[in-house]
Structure 1
Amino acid sequence: MSTDDTDVIPVVRPEEAEPRTGVWWWVTRIVSYTLLAATLFVLAVTVIIPRISGSTPYTVLTSSMRPTYPPGALVVIKPAEAGELVVGTAVTYQIRSGEPDVVTHRIVATQQSGGGDTTYITRGDNNGSDDENPVQIGQIRGKVWYSVPYMGYVNNWLNGEQRKITVTIIVIGLAGYALYMFGSAGMEHRNKRKAAGAP
């Protein structure tokens, strides 16, 4: 009986014979990564980025700012200094000072009041005329930092207590998914080592 190494045939267990690279494996992997990326994106643009930057997300409800900010778009409003409020800047402001209702329109002109204070003339991009009343600096919540189409609907859904519950569920789900992926990768690596070292 020859002892040449070429005559030794390694024994490989059936479950270790082929790596998990079939069509179904790739489909589930791609879908899971896509869902993970989409979830992280939604969480980032609607909750994380506004919170850490001190900005406020709003949902566009009318067509007055079409085509730039169509209905359903999410606009994230960042506080702005008076020097940043120039003609062409899209701002969100209180319709009436001290009241919660706001609108997002663009500054089209500035003017000086009788007391020397600057006021702002605004207009919706899709409107044919300027807004009726000049806007005072105290009414302006900030300028548009970024916008995401359709994400305003998600922002409306993620409100108040529901936002906290949903974010908590998402964080727990992502943590569980990460643990599963690490565990799965570890098992696969261990199986490959066993297969390579089998007699």
Structure 2
Amino acid sequence: MKIFFKWLNRFVTAVLFVLLIGLGFLVFSSKLSGGEPNVFGYQLKTVLSGSMEPEFKTGSVIAVKPIDGEERQQLKVGDVITFMESDDKLITHRIIEVKETGAGIVYTTKGDNNNAPDSNPVLAENVVAVYSGFTIPYLGYISEFSQSKNGIIALLIVPGFLLIGYSGITIWRAFHELEKEKKKAEVEMPKTS
């Protein structure tokens, strides 16, 4: 039974530590990037509307791969792209038509759940990324929460205190066991005069 509790103790400590590191990474990378975090060259974007359902649900996190000038010219019908609609607004929709114009390549886009194509065509130079096919449903709610003051407290400070508290309990138990062993050894030791 002692061995079971020893392994359970190690497991809980490892889980708390990994949780703290993971949540710390999420919060700090969100803060450093000014928005969604970057992982292995992919940007993680939070889906804020249902325009692309059922491909991805509101509140999901999707991974998009940033692309450069050459790749922007090679997109095709069916690709899901993230593009700059205005100075501060990114949209992720599917390409439904590709046209060559005097201004360059222009993409007509549409959200899968929308009734009509987007009103403004997208210039290739406004495309910032392409959807990688990786989605985590509902994680976006946590990502958005992690950027708030309450989120930082809940996702970093609370797990940190839990880890410290759990470490304190583990240390106390270790000292308690040492005291028991010491008392047991004193009782078993014959007194000499």
1:43-82 mapped onto 2 (5 Å cutoff): 50-81=37-68, 82=70
What CA distance in whole angstroms lies between the structure 1 residues aligned with 2:42 and 2:136?
A: 15
The answer to whether the aligner puts 1:125 opposite 2:108 as a matched pair is no
What CA distance in whole angstroms lies between the structure 1 residues aligned with 2:55 and 2:18?
A: 25
What CA distance in whole angstroms lies between the structure 2 residues aligned with 1:128 and 1:61?
A: 18
What CA distance in whole angstroms lies between the structure 1 residues aligned with 2:154 and 2:125?
A: 34
What CA distance in whole angstroms lies between the structure 1 residues aligned with 2:67 and 2:23?
A: 25
Structure 1 residue 32 displacement after superposition: 6.4
**Per-residue deviation, residues 25-54 of structure 1 (Å, max 9, x unmatched):** 95x877766666666666667766943534
Corresponding residue to 2:101 among 74, 92, 113: 113
* Corresponding residue of 2:4: 21
TM-score between the two structures when normalised by the length of structure 2: 0.62
Q: Is the 8 A contact 1:91 1:143 kept in 2?
A: yes
Among the aligned pairs, what percent are the same residue?
A: 25
Structure 1 residue 77 displacement after superposition: 2.5
The answer to whether the aligner puts 1:90 opposite 2:73 as a matched pair is no
Q: Which has the higher strand share?
A: 2
Specify whether residues 157 and 90 from structure 1 end up closer, same or farther in structure 2 by C-alpha distance, changes over 3 A only.
same
Q: What amino acid is the match of 1:93?
A: F
The secondary structure found in structure 2 opposite 1:21 is: helix
Q: Is the 8 A contact 1:46 1:57 kept in 2?
A: no
TM-score between the two structures when normalised by the length of structure 1: 0.60
Specify whether residues 95 and 132 from structure 1 end up closer, same or farther in structure 2 by C-alpha distance, changes over 3 A only.
same
* Corresponding residue of 2:137: 149
Q: Which runs of 5+ in 1 are unaligned?
A: 1-17
Structure 1 residue 104 displacement after superposition: 1.0
Larger radius of gyration: 1
Q: What amino acid is the match of 1:118?
A: I
* Corresponding residue of 2:33: none
Specify whether residues 87 and 172 from structure 1 end up closer, same or farther in structure 2 by C-alpha distance, changes over 3 A only.
same
Q: Which runs of 5+ in 2 are unaligned?
A: 31-36, 189-193
What's the C-alpha RMSD, in Å, of the aligned pairs? 4.3
